[in-house]
Copies of this chain bind each other. A is one copy, B any other.
Amino acid sequence: MNLKDLSALLGLSQTTVSRALNGYPEVSEATRQRVAAAAEKYSYRPNTRAKSLATGRSMAIGHVIPISAQHEMVNPVFGDFIAGAGEAYAAAGYDMVLSLVQDSHEERVYRDMFAKGNVDGIVVHAPEMHDPRIALLQDIGLPFAVHGRASDVPTPYNWLDVNNKSAFQRATGFLLDLGHKRIGLLNGLETMDFAHRRRAGYVEALQTRGIAVDKALMRSEEMTENYGYQAVCEMMKLPDPPTAYLVSSMIPAIGIRRAIHDAGLKMGQDISVITHDDDLSYLRNGDDVPLFTATRSSVREAGRQLARILIDQISNPGKVPQTKLFEAELTVGRSTGPNVGAR
């Protein structure tokens, strides 16, 4: 059933039927009803491609997902993010198209998406510190929104980020208050902008208290469970091992817990751990009392809101870019306690 058939059936022109269905004013209420009823009856759905071609808008938003070269992995956070974004898209009638790319620098994917015209806008994932993709997208004039930020971009653009620096600063401060002086940092890859900011927060908190930053206590890798395990196993062998750890995600935090248990120690008593918690649906941080003390910020909510920002930008092309900074909440769980050795 296409527009031609439907209008023939109704004895109306395609023009009128199209207008009736799209809510244009120059059609009488009576015929609008009649058209709507017929469309419903024959379950008419306008062909997206034809519509796109005619309007010049594709009603689709592209997500370019970088695949890590090292582990060939997709960020586990990703599922929840697009679940949130998907809600916003569905509400606004947008489709979501995914492109998984090995090398996130690959500018061709972006250029192609634009030239082929199959998206109206793009969500940029996992921005790096000096991310060339932002300048590129500004250059080609395709609306976009970034999940996170890139540090060195002078011109404004749409982004939504967690205040990573303040979150890790507070978390570090919390551990220092508990008497910990040797705090391990298991960061994400520091080419990533968020990881860089987190380290800045950690370092600043230490320096404020006059505690020297020890490079031996800082790691930066992709956030797998094994990473957490291995890194802590190794750090525990140091002459003056950490009594606390700050880690960038629940997944490696689980590895840390494993390492602590394997060493015959108790998390929250012998060794403290604070993790960042993206509030993943399949990895809830405990029900009543959180298992981990954590800096929490829902990545699903981030997806939802960033999608809205992008849709807004697409609908109002002239509008000044929006930015949104989530403050993570520091929730105290059972993985932290006073530094026993310090007493």
Contacts of A105 on B, CB cut-off 8 Å? none
Closest chain-B Cβ to A48's Cβ sits at a distance in Å of: 4
Closest chain-B Cβ to A54's Cβ sits at a distance in Å of: 9
Q: Is the CB of A48 within 8 A of B95?
A: no
Contacts of A46 on B, CB cut-off 8 Å? 116
Complex: A300 Cα to B71 Cα, angstroms: 13
Main secondary structure of the interface of A (DSSP, over half): mixed
Selected contact of A99 from candidates B43, B68, B95, B100, CB within 8 Å: B95
Contacts of A280 on B, CB cut-off 8 Å? 76
Closest chain-B Cβ to A59's Cβ sits at a distance in Å of: 9
Contacts of A224 on B, CB cut-off 8 Å? 281-284
A96-B95 CB under 8 A given contacts A45-B116, A48-B117, A283-B225: no
Q: Is the CB of B283 within 8 A of A251?
A: yes
Judge if A287 is at the interface, Cβ distance under 8 Å.
yes
Q: Is the CB of B71 within 8 A of A282?
A: yes
Q: Is the CB of A117 within 8 A of B49?
A: yes
Q: Is the CB of B43 within 8 A of A49?
A: no
Judge if A234 is at the interface, Cβ distance under 8 Å.
no
Q: Is the CB of B281 within 8 A of A49?
A: no
Selected contact of A282 from candidates B80, B115, B223, B281, CB within 8 Å: B223
Judge if A60 is at the interface, Cβ distance under 8 Å.
yes
Q: Is the CB of A226 within 8 A of B100?
A: no
Q: Is the CB of A225 within 8 A of B282?
A: yes
Residue interface mask A69-82, B partner, CB < 8 A = 1: 00111111011101
Judge if A214 is at the interface, Cβ distance under 8 Å.
no
Stretch from A83-91, A146-154, A189-197 forming part of the interface with B? A83-91
Complex: A100 Cα to B280 Cα, angstroms: 17
Q: Which residue of B lies closest to A96 (CB)?
A: B98
Selected contact of A116 from candidates B48, B115, B291, CB within 8 Å: B48
B-contacting residues, A234-291, CB 8 Å: 251, 254, 257-258, 261, 280-284, 286-287, 291
Q: Is the CB of A118 within 8 A of B74?
A: no
Judge if A67 is at the interface, Cβ distance under 8 Å.
yes
Closest chain-B Cβ to A262's Cβ sits at a distance in Å of: 10
A100-B82 CB under 8 A given contacts A58-B49, A225-B283: yes
Q: Is the CB of A99 within 8 A of B98?
A: no
Q: Is the CB of A43 within 8 A of B111?
A: yes
